[in-house]
Amino acid sequence: MARSIIVGAGMVGLATAWHLQERGVEVTIIDREGVAAGSSWGNAGWLAPAKTIPLADPSLWTYGPKALIDPDAALHVPVRVDVNLWSFLARFAAHGTQRAWDRAMVALTPIDRLALQSFDELIDGGVESSTHEGPFIIGFGHARHARGFMRDVAGVIQHGQSVHVERLDDPRALAPQLSSQIGAAYRMDGQRFIEPGPFMHALAESVTARGAEMRMGLEVSAVDSSSRPSVMLSNGETLTADSVVIATGAWMPRLARVLGVNVPVQAGRGYSFTVDTDEPAEHPVYLPTQRIACTPYQGRFRIAGTMEFRGPDDALQHRRIQAIVNQVRTLMTGVDLDNRHDEWVGSRPVTPDGLPLVGQTRAPNVYVAGGHGMWGVVLGPATGKLLAERIVTGRTDPAIAPFDPLR
């Protein structure tokens, strides 16, 4: 029986393991901390292919400079000498054109269209969790502020997705957490959400029940395939297998760069916390102007935001939590922003061109899966399925062909 080692126990790593098991492969999963210890736990849990779009777009050229001087802006770059960071930002900004956005959207649309059915496949296959239907409520201070959002929706439709958006007469009817400062709101249907923590642990339990070996609390120091694919652990142990998958998110370059994966991966850190609400939150809420996403989560309301370009291991910056609070305080009502729970930061792996890195490295039978930016959760199951097919059969599905990690 074939055997594979998966490095990383986030959504992408666990989904890849699950689908390898579907094809009869034995798997060992290694993570330096544990299941969903990175960006897979505290995110908004959105399964929204209609919003799974390139991060860099033409608005970056007007929004970016303003954000750099606004301490409460969603985009945050620490002022410090960091050649690698500023080199990445220059390449990222170069993709902030309509032509680059369209090119990336062409590449993302095929896997976007597989996203929701890939979650259904996991659940139908025994993962004891669920997804939740929308609608998603999109709020703006004034209707004119919706132009950018509607332009993105039109672009997604143009590239082949079906998206339904309609204006609401009463923004508070479906989202009583919105204050009177929200002058226009829309509902977006056809999208779903999950509670990320419970879903991730259900996926891990399914993989374990199928016979996976879980090696948590161990760090992989190197990956090699000079004779046979192998990983070297920080405790001195070496494990070999028929294939190795590096799915370590923002930490991918530490293992993959020496294997020929030279596309930069920068940690785009997101923050979140949960709060109590006077009225139950039933639907996700998005505030595009503030770049803030909110989701019902275990009886509370999870509020997530910020794209902070900083090192993946840097400590949580409490100023970024306060920036989110400052942005939403006047836009929400009946929300206890001063009694926050589960304050969290997670490092999302961002590439300059907005495309993931999925496929074989220069080392035979050593693969990478990551670089999804903000979309690792929604695209994780589809990525895992298609990468498992590539590992077992040698066939590269057209939906992941543009994500060649050696590009």
One-letter amino acid for residue 171 of the chain = P
Q: In what order do the strands lie in the sheet with 213-216?
A: 213-216, 26-31, 3-7, 243-246, 366-370, 357-360
How far, in whole angstroms, is CA 4 from its chain's centroid?
24
Positive/negative CA dihedral, 304, 306, 311, 314: negative
What is the chain's pLDDT, residue by residue, as a tens digit (407 residues)? Answer: 799 999 999 999 999 999 999 999 999 999 999 999 999 999 999 999 999 999 999 999 888 888 888 999 999 998 887 899 999 999 999 999 999 999 999 999 999 999 999 999 999 999 999 999 999 999 999 999 999 999 999 999 999 999 999 999 998 999 999 999 999 999 999 999 999 999 999 999 999 999 999 999 999 999 998 889 999 999 999 999 999 999 999 999 999 999 999 999 999 999 999 999 999 999 999 999 999 999 999 999 999 999 999 999 999 999 999 999 999 999 999 999 999 999 999 999 999 999 999 999 999 999 999 999 999 999 999 999 999 999 999 999 999 999 999 99
CB 249 within 8 A of CB 313: no
Q: Which two tokens stand for residue 275?
A: 């709060």
Q: 24: exposed, middle or buried (C-beta count within 10 Å: 0-12, 13-18, 19+)?
A: exposed
CB 174 within 8 A of CB 168: yes
The pLDDT, as a whole number, for residue 172 is 95
pLDDT tens for each residue of 161-187: 999 999 999 989 999 999 999 999 999
CB 184 within 8 A of CB 140: yes
The pLDDT, as a whole number, for residue 65 is 87
Measured CA to CA, the distance from residue 398 to residue 257 in angstroms comes to 25
The pLDDT, as a whole number, for residue 319 is 97
Q: Which two tokens stand for residue 147?
A: 């132009």
Q: How far is CA 357 from CA 31, 247, 271, 310, 340, in A?
A: 19, 10, 24, 20, 35
Q: Where are the alpha helices (DSSP H) in 10-137?
A: 11-22, 60-69, 83-94, 98-112, 115-124
Contacts of 86 (CB under 8 A, 6+ apart): none
Q: Which two tokens stand for residue 122?
A: 């996991």
Kind of pairing, strands 136-140 and 132-133? Answer: unpaired
Q: Tokens 């920080």 sit at which residue?
A: 234
The pLDDT, as a whole number, for residue 64 is 86
Q: How far is CA 187 from CA 165, 290, 299, in A?
A: 6, 17, 22
CB 48 within 8 A of CB 378: yes
Q: Tokens 């997705």 sit at which residue?
A: 161
The pLDDT, as a whole number, for residue 82 is 86
